[in-house]
């Protein structure tokens, strides 16, 4: 039996999994973690080590049924009211590279399904990210 994740750890696991879904965590994605954790109210008071949390998440991802294990742990660690927040954080990390990869889209779909997110809410979150990360040309 694993130690339960804190709410903030679970949200970080979502961001880490979104970042490594394509097997390549970029500097932009790491910077995005730090920015989001330092800025968003949901992370107020966070004092953990992002590196240690990311390493633990990565180790779980490498295990048998890793992605399902991660989704299970995250779902049991988050209150339902933060499911959309978790999805929005995953979108932010995936979009930070501007080019969202197929593997990241698959993870986002898995997250949407696991949390049984409302389709309109998902569309709004995704549209908001597209608008924020739009290029000039």
Residue 109 maps to which CATH number?
1.10.3680
More confident residue, 7 or 28: 7
Kindly state whether residue 2 falls inside one of the protein's structural domains.
Answer: no
Which pLDDT value is given to residue 82? 97
Domain range spanning residue 73? 7-133
CA–CA distance, 85 with 35 (Å, rounded to integer): 15
- Integer angstrom CA distances of residue 39 from 36, 72, 96, 116, 120: 5, 27, 16, 27, 26
Kindly state whether residue 72 falls inside one of the protein's structural domains.
Answer: yes
CA–CA distance, 60 with 103 (Å, rounded to integer): 17
Kindly state whether residue 115 falls inside one of the protein's structural domains.
Answer: yes
* Distance from the Cα of residue 58 to its chain's centroid: 13
Q: What is the mean pLDDT of residues 86-115?
A: 90
For residue 96, pLDDT beyond 90: no
Give how many domains the chain has, as a whole number: 1
- Integer angstrom CA distances of residue 21 from 53, 73, 104, 118: 16, 17, 5, 23
Kindly state whether residue 90 falls inside one of the protein's structural domains.
Answer: yes
Which pLDDT value is given to residue 1? 56
Kindly state whether residue 45 falls inside one of the protein's structural domains.
Answer: yes
Kindly state whether residue 1 falls inside one of the protein's structural domains.
Answer: no
**What's the token pair of residue 116?**
């049984």
Q: What is the mean pLDDT of residues 64-76?
A: 91
Q: What is the mean pLDDT of residues 12-20?
A: 93
Q: pLDDT band at 128, cuts 50/70/90?
A: very high
DSSP codes joined into one string, 52-109: HHHHHHHHHHTSTTHHHHHHHHHHHHS-GGGHHHHHHHHHHHHHTTSS--HHHHHHHH
């Amino acid at each position: 039996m694993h130690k339960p994740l804190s709410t903030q750890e679970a949200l970080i696991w979502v961001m880490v999994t979104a970042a490594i879904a394509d097997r390549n965590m970029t500097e932009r994605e790491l910077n995005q973690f730090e920015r989001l954790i330092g800025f968003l109210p949901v992370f107020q008071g966070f004092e953990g080590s992002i590196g240690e949390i990311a390493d633990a998440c990565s180790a779980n991802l490498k295990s048998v049924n890793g992605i399902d294990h991660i989704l299970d742990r995250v779902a049991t660690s988050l209150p339902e009211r933060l499911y959309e927040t978790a999805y929005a954080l995953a979108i932010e990390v995936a979009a930070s590279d501007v080019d969202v990869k197929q593997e990241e889209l698959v993870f986002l779909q898995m997250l949407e399904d696991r949390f049984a997110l409302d389709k309109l809410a998902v569309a709004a979150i995704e549209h908001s990210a597209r608008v924020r990360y739009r290029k000039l040309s």
